[in-house]
Amino acid sequence: MNIILIGIQGSGKGTQAKILENRFGWEHITTGDLFRKNIEQETELGLLAKEYIDKGELVPDKYVFEIVKNALNQAEKGFILDGFPRNIEQLKFLVKNFEIDSVILLDLTDDKAIERLMARRICKICKKDYNILFKKSKKPGICDVCEGEIIRRDDDNKEAISKRIEKFHNETKKVIEYFTEKNLLIHINADQSLEAIHEEIVKKLSV
13 binds ligand AMP (CB under 6 A): no
Is residue 153 flagged as an active site residue? Answer: yes
Total binding residues for ligand AMP by CB under 6 A? 14
Rank residues 64 and 105 by Cβ distance to ligand AMP and give the closer one. 64
Catalytic pick from 18, 153, 158, 163?
Answer: 153
Distance of CA 4 to the CA centre of its chain: 10
Between 12 and 143, CB nearer to ligand AMP: 12
Q: Are 38 and 45 in contact (CB under 8 A)?
A: yes
Residues 41-60 binding ligand AMP (CB under 6 A) are: 52-53, 56-59
93 binds ligand AMP (CB under 6 A): no
Tell me: does residue 84 bind ligand AMP (CB under 6 A). yes
Whether the CA torsion 162, 165, 171, 177 is positive or negative: it is: negative
Phi-psi region of 183 (alpha: psi -120 to 50; beta: other; left: phi over 0): left
Distance CA 138, CA 131 (A): 12
State in angstroms the smallest separation of the CB of 12 from ligand AMP.
15
Q: Which of 18, 23, 25, 32 binds ligand AMP (CB under 6 A)?
A: 32
What span, in angstroms and rounded, lies between the C-alpha atoms of 126 and 104?
Answer: 32
CB nearer ligand AMP, residue 56 or residue 140: 56
Q: Is 31 in the site for ligand AMP (CB under 6 A)?
A: yes
Share of the chain residues as helix, strand and coil, in percent rounded to the nearest 5: 50, 20, 30
What letter would DSSP give residue 147?
A: -
86 belongs to the catalytic site: yes
Kindly state whether residue 86 participates in binding ligand AMP, applying the rule CB under 6 A.
Answer: yes
13 is annotated as an active-site residue: yes
Q: How far is CA 54 from CA 49, 152, 161, 193, in A?
A: 9, 21, 18, 34
**What residues are annotated to the active site?**
13, 86, 120, 153, 164
Binding residues vs ligand AMP (CB under 6 A):
31-32, 35, 52-53, 56-59, 64, 83-84, 86, 90
